Amino acid sequence: MNYCTLFDSNYLTRGIAMYESLKKNSENFHLYIYAFDERCYQLLQKLHLESATIISLKEFEDEELLKVKNGRTAVEYCWTCTPSVIKYSIEKYNLDSCTYLDADLYFFSNPVTLIDEMGDKSVLITEHRYTARYDKSATSGIYCVQFMTFKNNQNGMLVLNWWREACIEWCYFRIEDGKLGDQKYLDDWPIRFEGVHVLQHLGGGVAPWNIQQYKIYIENFKYFGVELTSKTKFRLIFYHFHSFKFIENDKVDLGGYTLTNNIIKMLYKPYIRHLEKINDEVKQLDGTFDFQGTREFVNNSKWYKLPFKKIIKKDYHLYNKSNFLR
């Protein structure tokens, strides 16, 4: 199975954690990693990831992308490039299909289950499945650019080429004419194009904006979930650690979503430990690396003073990192 992703040194530890979780849960796969800065490229090369190919930015970029690059922020340019890295992977390496993965995904089971669900369809997309209080469908889109499969056939490449051209023409971090970044373009795909399948498996796309709808538990060392309304049981395939940040003073921000103690213990604590382990390994290659990319600085200083136990039920989650490493 072929996958691709993109990230720079800001997301290096998260990208490696995603790769290692994929490797742990997959029998045969290959991940094409697009390194969006030179430091990221050099470190990934030194890590010798056996199931990955590392592609530098200068190797990947073409004239059309370079024309718009200077007019977009780093985030906007990453979004602009998403369909292009999928297209490049398919065409450069002659792949039958390729699945794009966000770098902050983390796998708990083999994602082949999700890809198999699309059957003879050519494109697979995933819904946000927002909890009502966090519903941003109108602005951020019905579907999430987090896990998307494109087959190398007429329908698949038609959608992919259309998306690439649209993102090159317009891809900004603002709402304009019903568009926002690369994601709002997906809203009408099931109607606009033939062969688009919307994922039904509840275990693909669990994220902080929808986890309030599920009970997550571990059984025989495997992760499962139950949808609270329908009582539907499912295997947890991946979790999207959206809005997770390391910040100054050894704090971690879990994002502006309500998370239970159980979710923090089962999902976030092992994830943070894994990132710390990777950080230590990367430091062996580059002594100056210490989560520099994953640190984000928050101006609201009162956040730093909030005790760990008193902010669990707040709409933001700021914790001492040491709480997760014991």
Q: What is the overall mean pLDDT for the chain?
A: 90
The CA–CA distances, whole Å, from 245 to 97, 129, 281, 305 equal: 32, 23, 20, 17
CATH: 3.30.450.40, 3.30.70.260, 3.90.550.10, 3.20.20.210. Which one for 2-205? 3.90.550.10
Are β-strands 97-101 and 52-56 bridged in parallel, bridged antiparallel, or unpaired?
Answer: unpaired
Tell me what pLDDT residue 319 has: 54
- The neighbouring-strand residues paired with 97 are 151
What is the pLDDT averaged over residues 164-174? 97
* % of the chain residues with pLDDT over 70: 89
Tell me what pLDDT residue 246 has: 83
Q: What is the pLDDT of residues 92-108, one digit of tens each?
A: 999 999 999 999 999 99
Q: What is the pLDDT of residues 208-258, one digit of tens each?
A: 999 999 999 999 999 999 999 999 999 999 999 999 988 877 788 888 899
Structure tokens at 280: 């230590």
What is the pLDDT averaged over residues 50-55? 98
Number of other residues whose CB lies within 10 A of the CB of residue 60: 19
Nearest Cα to Cα of residue 90 among 3, 195, 168 = 3
Residue 138 phi/psi, 5-degree rounding, is -65, -30
Tell me what pLDDT residue 190 has: 98
Q: What is the pLDDT of residues 116-161, one digit of tens each?
A: 999 999 999 999 999 999 999 999 999 999 999 999 999 999 999 9
Compare 124 and 295 and report the one with higher pLDDT.
124
d(CA 70, CA 204): 35
Q: Is the pLDDT of residue 275 over 90?
A: yes
Per-domain residue ranges for the chain? 2-205, 244-324
The count of C-alpha atoms lying within 13 angstroms of the C-alpha of 44, restricted to the half-sphere facing its C-beta, is 31
